[in-house]
Amino acid sequence: MGRGLAPVALSLVVSLAACEPPPAGRPRSAVATAAASADAAPPAGPALRFLGAAEGQLDVDALAALPGAGVVQAAPPGASAPVAWRGVPLRAALQQGFGAGWRAADELLFTCLDGYQPALPVATALAGAPWLVWARADGAPFRHTLPGHAAPVALGPLYLVWPGTPPKKAQWPYQVTAVETINFSERFAGLVPAADAPAAVRAGFDVWRTHCHKCHRLQGLGGTIGPELGRPVGVLDYWQPAMLRRWLRAPQSIREGSPMPPVALNEAELDTLFAYLRDRSGTPPGQATP
Ligand code: HEC
């Protein structure tokens, strides 16, 4: 689809639609949905790259040959009944790619086609039994209509699904291309507040990494679906705090058609997030006020 050649605005819309698994009811712009459904064909090439503790890749044939691979039933967000998928238990793929050592990592960082980069705690992966799937077992197109989308989105190369009742922090990234074992604070050291930073700043770091990091960068670190928010000028040096609160609650109430989904945070979490954003601001001294 010419990702590299698309005009900036179009590629942003296409890429946002590609990877975020929104909880039920999140609004989604019609433009993003239409763009995503045009992008139905998964790219050729390696299915899953392993990064971090080990480097390598497994294509679908290799994944399908792993122990336990086969068909699994899982109801993705927005589905009223379980769907049968062809795939492999995530654990078997991680075992093959990283050896048993992956269990000692803090988090699994998934990379998706569009730069969406969710970090899944290893404890969550172990609490459930997620599978990486690459096709529907019934041979239907590998697509699904996610909540807030009017049309199906392409799920390939790989989609993370959770059979049964998923654990609370389960995530359903789609268009997954790579997985990396990380210790978040080491991998993204530039995001970690100083040890003696105020408690609010440290709490805000947790809010950031849970709710914003997968889509946004700070100081160049993080997901690439949304814009950088820390440099060269920190976001709170050009957004009024009250407007940013409203933005996070309802982006479309400020920018019509914005593809950013609302983020549910309470007032205390917003306060700490703002303390953290100010702490990480790259605004050069003397430029914070007009
Ligand atoms: C699912 C991805 C996603 C998540 C999660 C997300 N954003 Fe966004 N965000 C976007 C996209 C895409 C845009 C650009 C859309 C736009 O400007 O209308 C954006 C735009 C913004 C902007 C406007 C920037 C500007 O000046 O144009 C701010 C501020 C922002 N996000 C803050 C946040 C914060 C803070 C969080 C976490 C609490 C967050 N976002 C979570 C995708 C996301």
Predicted confidence at residue 154, as pLDDT, reads 94
* Series of mean pLDDT values for 10-residue runs along the chain (290 residues): 31 39 33 36 66 89 96 94 97 96 94 91 96 97 86 94 93 95 93 96 96 95 94 95 97 92 95 97 74
Note whether residue 14 is domain-resident: yes
Are 30 and 170 in a shared domain?
Answer: yes
Are 204 and 269 in a shared domain?
Answer: yes
Are 78 and 156 in a shared domain?
Answer: yes
Q: How far apart are CA 174 and CA 159, in angstroms?
A: 4
Are 181 and 194 in a shared domain?
Answer: no
Q: Among 137, 169, 186, give the residue marking a domain's end.
A: 186
60 CA → ligand 1 middle, Å: 34
Note whether residue 290 is domain-resident: no
Respond yes or no on whether the N-terminal peptide bond of residue 27 is cis (omega within 30° of 0).
Answer: no
Residue list, ligand 1 pocket, CB within 6 Å: 16, 20, 211-212, 214-216, 225-227, 229, 235, 239, 244, 247-248, 255, 258-261, 263
Backbone φ, ψ for residue 42 (5° rounding)? -70, 150
Predicted confidence at residue 34, as pLDDT, reads 32
Give the residue whose CA is nearest to atom 11 of ligand 1.
226
Are 174 and 202 in a shared domain?
Answer: no
Q: How far apart are CA 89 and CA 50, in angstroms?
A: 15
Give the residue whose CA is nearest to atom 33 of ligand 1.
212
Query: Which residues are CB-neighbours of 115 under 8 A, at least 6 positions away?
Result: 15, 19, 223, 224, 225
Q: Among 186, 213, 232, give the residue marking a domain's end.
A: 186
- Confidence (pTM): 0.79
Give the residue whose CA is nearest to atom 3 of ligand 1.
215
Note whether residue 285 is domain-resident: no
Domain count of the fold of the chain: 2
DSSP 3-state assignment of 190? helix
Q: How far apart are CA 154 and CA 157, in angstroms?
A: 9
Question: Domain range holding 146?
Answer: 8-186
DSSP 3-state assignment of 258? coil
260 CA → ligand 1 middle, Å: 5
Return the structure tokens found at 221.
């670190």
Note whether residue 287 is domain-resident: no
Degrees to nearest 5, angle at CA 110 with 61 and 149: 95
Give the residue whose CA is nearest to atom 5 of ligand 1.
212
Are 85 and 159 in a shared domain?
Answer: yes
Are 215 and 176 in a shared domain?
Answer: no
Out of 215, 237, 269, 276, mutate this one to test ligand 1's pocket (max ligand atoms within 8 Å of CB): namely 215
Are 169 and 254 in a shared domain?
Answer: no
For residue 215, the domain's CATH number is 1.10.760.10
What strands lie across the sheet with 83-89, from one edge to the other?
70-74, 83-89, 131-136, 159-161
Q: How far apart are CA 140 and CA 147, in angstroms?
A: 19
Predicted confidence at residue 284, as pLDDT, reads 82
Q: Rounded to whole angstroms, what are the CA distances from 244 to 29, 158, 220, 229, 263?
A: 20, 34, 21, 12, 11
Q: Among 151, 186, 221, give the residue marking a domain's end.
A: 186
Give the number of the atom of ligand 1 that is nearest the alpha carbon of residue 244: 29
Q: How far apart are CA 86 and CA 138, in angstroms?
A: 9
Are 182 and 192 in a shared domain?
Answer: no
Q: Looking up tokens 């993080």, which residue turns up? A: 222
